[in-house]
Amino acid sequence: MADSFDVIVIGAGPGGYVCAIRAAQLGMKVACVEKRATLGGTCLNVGCIPSKALLQSSEHFEEANHKLAEHGVNVGQVSLDLARMQARKAEVVGANVKGVEFLFKKNKVTWLKGSGRVVAAGQVDVDGTTYATKHIVIATGSESTPLPGVTVDEKRIVTSTGALELEKVPGHLVVIGGGVIGLELGSVWRRLGAQVTVVEFLDRIVPGMDNEIGKAFERTLAKQGIKFKLKTKVTGASVTDAGVTLTTEPVGGGAAETLAADVVLLAIGRRPHVEGLGLAEAGVALDERGRVKTDGHFATNIPGIWAIGDVIVGPMLAHKAEDEGVALAEQIAGQKPHINYDAIPGVVYTWPEVANIGKTEEELKAQGVAYKVGKFPFTANGRARAMASMDGFVKILADKETDRVLGAHILGPDAGTLIAEIAVAMEFGASAEDVARTCHAHPTLNEAVKEAALAVDGRALHI
């Protein structure tokens, strides 16, 4: 038996590395197993961070081409240096992953480089070396969900990983799946000059989002040039040197059609990454969707083995995994942390952004909860008008009797930042009136949140 630890975390993504750092802060001897050459998991290496770098760069390109002249800024002929854009993305990723490595050293977390496998409770194998530990944390994240008949080669048919590495702008990019990943990366390549078509099985994009916001979001993206084929299923893909031919059918029945593309992005969702971890051999139970079963406090059915993040139930979000990592480390240390899963925001980083937290109208109706709605458009917000970014609105849902904020949904500029105010409000059990009576600086985008809170009571001031 090699060295022993108090905690061994398998996976160095946002959930895993944060759990390791917090456990070390609490005085435990900690190791984190990671097979990548760099720390940070999917999020920092091939997910959240590189995609946001390309989203930011492509938005600057879009502004220079189509928006700056409106502000009296004339830049002349604009050209794209995709190689430099990709190089900058790599620099951003490099800085972030090196930052995590620095944090490991600072907090004395041991990085066990290699593939981790659970031998049994208290034992983890890393490429043939077995380590003893009191606690094992499964934090191996998720991977792209495959689609029968559509074989990924990361060249012509790509997942999000390949879509971040394209060496030229495709003439026609077809995105299979109208969720967050597909829409974000579709936006990147649309801004850079690609024709983009999104094929979605359901009758709407971003399922699970508040329906009113989702419909407005679809209209906004359509205005930007993204085309949608809803209620359509992909049944096959044929790849040639020239591109990809997709075979599609209407979900409700009808004649098959073909769709020609230069590149196809498969983005129908993600699934827990648990293969090769030895969980079955160790007796760790999985649910019907391949997620690790836990008791609501991250404990599996095997004492001493825990799981957090994308491998367990709940939204596959980096910040959800981080909060779970902190909570689990504190729980192991004897504390009594708590996560409010009703106050975890979600963001789509297109432009305008979309952000949501708490319940949707559809969920409240299904649950029989009496509620009030307050809405305020960015067309009536002075800062949004000054920015020339007036698409969208803020929508706040509050309990009809108590006025407690139950959810909020924002389509608009910097929605991902604006939603944090509602997250704090919900965490402290605030009412819509509490938000409305809080002084907001003028002129700011946040005033739209205040006005939506006022609108819950029918007294918005600026519309």
Catalytic residues: 442
Q: What is the DSSP string of 266-317?
A: E-S-EEE--TTS-HHHHT--B-TTSPBP--SSSB-SSTTEEE-GGGSSS---
Q: Which residues contact 78 (CB under 8 A, 6 or more apart)?
A: 61, 64, 65
What tokens were used for 96? 């972030």
CA distance 110 to 113: 9
- Which 8-state DSSP code applies to residue 203? S
Query: Are residues 122 and 106 in contact, defined by beta-carbon separation less than 8 angstroms?
Result: no
CA angle 398, 400, 402 (to 5 degrees): 80
CA angle 100, 129, 284 (to 5 degrees): 80
Which stretch of DSSP H or E encloses residue 248?
strand 243-250
| Residue where the block lists tokens 């957090």 | 308
Q: What is the DSSP string of 23-40?
A: HHHTT--EEEEE-SSSSS
Backbone angles phi, psi at 268, to 5 degrees: -95, 5
Three-state SS at 295: coil
Strand-pairing partners, residue 31, are: 8, 110
Query: Are residues 260 and 172 in contact, defined by beta-carbon separation less than 8 angstroms?
Result: yes
